[in-house]
Amino acid sequence: MFPQRLTDGYTSFLNGRLAHERERYEELAEKGQHPEIMIIGCGDSRVAPETIFDAGPGEMFVVRNIANLVPPCESDVEESFHGTSAAIEFGVNALEVKHIVVLGHASCGGVRAFADNAPPLTKRDFIGKWMSQIAPVAERLGPPQGDRKAWIQQLEWAVVEHSMKNLMTFPTVRERVEAGKLTIHGAYFGVATGVLFVRNTETGKFEPYSEV
């Protein structure tokens, strides 16, 4: 049976948002999507970009994976599947978005699993292989010095910066950034507090939005 929660939610959507924004949906169906913002976020159910930024239909192109990671651009793609890279290719080359936001968050399960050297969930260990991308990030950060909670937050921030840097390994991304047609941003959402931190491009620090 289809989940009752989804049935109830869809009924609410039909009588609420769809009823009020029907023309918008019809326009999107006819003319296609033209979002100016792409969000690369985590799949964590507590951190939905559309909810955090109160986005309407067609306003944001959202890609979510474990720990909001962007792998470096690879030339050998014949024997691999690159979901995040494919989404970046589409967002930049087809949609020509003007902004890409890497959205990290507090209490990230993927980062915590890496930090705790958690055992694999399956023999294939998809998560472990995916999260191994941040090994050099953790190495540069160094081991915890006292406050482990603060260290994990620093690692979560560093993962956002790592993804921002990897975005620049995609030729089209770099070309559009250098031409002033695309801007890359780093952000971080506090799950418990609801506070959004934005990375200051001058200092490299994550600052509460109200202070940016």
pLDDT tens for each residue of 41-91: 999 999 999 999 999 999 999 999 999 999 999 876 666 789 999 999 999
At residue 78, the pLDDT reads: 66
SS (H, E, C) 59-125: CEEEEEEHHHCCCCCCCCCCCCCCHHHHHHHHHHHHCCCCEEEEEEECCCHHHHHHHCCCCCCCCCC
Pairing of strands 37-42, 60-65: parallel
Give all domains of the chain, ordered by start, each with its CATH number.
Answer: 1-31 (no CATH), 33-211 (3.40.1050.10)
Burial 142-153 (b: 16+ CB within 10 A, else e): eeeeeeeeebbb
d(CA 209, CA 167): 23
- Tens digit of pLDDT for each residue in 142-170? 998 889 999 999 999 999 999 999 999 99
State mean pLDDT over 17-26.
95
Residue 97: pLDDT band with limits 50, 70, 90: very high
27 token code pair: 């326009």
Average pLDDT over residues 95-111: 97
Determine the pLDDT at residue 145. Answer: 86
* For residue 188, pLDDT beyond 60: yes
Higher pLDDT, 3 or 80: 3
Averaged over 116-141, what is the pLDDT?
94
**Portion of the chain with pLDDT greater than 90, in percent:** 92
